[in-house]
Copies of this chain bind each other. A is one copy, B any other.
Amino acid sequence: MTSVPIALGPARTTLLEQAIAAGGGTVADLDSARALVWDGEPDGFPERLPDGIEWVQLFSAGVEEWFDSGVFERHPGVVFTSAAGAFANSVAEHALMLLLAGVRYLPEHIRARSWRQAEFFPHVGTLRGATVTIVGAGGIGRELITLLHPFGVRVIAVNRSGTPVSAPGVVETVPAHRLSEVWPRTDHVVVAAPATADTRHLVGKAELAQLKPTSWVINIARGSLVDTDALVQALCDGTIGGAGLDVTDPEPLPDGHPLWDLPNAIVTPHDSNPPHLRTAAFADHVTENIRRFVSGHDLIARIDIVAGY
């Protein structure tokens, strides 16, 4: 098998050069390359790619900024892949951490300065036997299903098509257009769907009202999927048990925002996938996609320009 010329930009790093080589590629100039691995933002991306470029591998998992940038429209004949899935492990682990911390009442434990056992007892819950709805069955959602299974959780998976998600612990798959049926019969909700016009404020006042006073809402996707004002109100009123948010709307969450002070809100500043974990995960993703490109197999995380993610 001949080595396939792959360009690497905006800068070359040893880690990604090795990742390209491991997949069967050779780092080459853009003009002689068949593909481009772009380890940067839309800013600085080539205005017009050479005709020889068939495929571009982007670094980010969420690609709203890339849609806004017009890069896809300028290159209708080029296949773009995101890093969706590459960072799924770390984000799914973070989601489970937020859910467990919420269900077992950790925030108040962290604030405690004395042994408040009798007071805390009734607030410590368990995931065992709980029903958890995961909205979005992409890389993060599927990884989370795997993590949740040994806890004895019953998962309701929500995806666009409703095509059954076949994984241990999944008791039901619901298509997105029937999501409204799910709220009254779930214990907790994890939002792991892409940000699109359709998913904006997917969790709003009406949805929160149907959850339980012990329900936790976890968002590790994008802030826009949850109606922040409605969430703050539900947290103040005790309509739900709490919220674990790695993403917020607005983001960054400004100082003085009520979410900082609510005892039943956990905010992590979009750090579920920190740079030091991301780099190694992206290199593995690049190797796998180059291996597929070289051998003519379907690429992972191909961006659907029409669907918008």
Contacts and interface: CB of A to CB of B under 8 A. Distances in A.
B152 A150 contact: no
A271 interface: yes
Interface in A258-275: 260-261, 266-272, 274-275
Contacts of A275: 121
A147 interface: yes
Contact of A93 (B146, B151, B272): B151
Given A93-B128, A150-B150, A110 B274 contact: no
B113 A255 contact: yes
B109 A106 contact: no
Given A97-B101, A115-B253, A252-B117, A126 B269 contact: no
A33 to B, nearest CB: 32
Given A89-B152, A104-B94, A128-B89, A260 B122 contact: no
B126 A277 contact: yes
Interface string A230-262: 000000000000000000000011110000110
Contacts of A122: 274, 276
Contacts of A115: 252-255, 269
A274 B107 contact: no
A276 B126 CA distance: 10
Contact of A126 (B93, B106, B147, B150): B93
B96 A100 contact: yes
A111 interface: yes
18 contacts: A90-B128, A93-B100, A93-B104, A93-B126, A93-B127, A93-B128, A97-B100, A97-B101, A109-B266, A109-B267, A114-B260, A115-B254, A117-B252, A117-B269, A120-B269, A122-B276, A124-B271, A124-B272
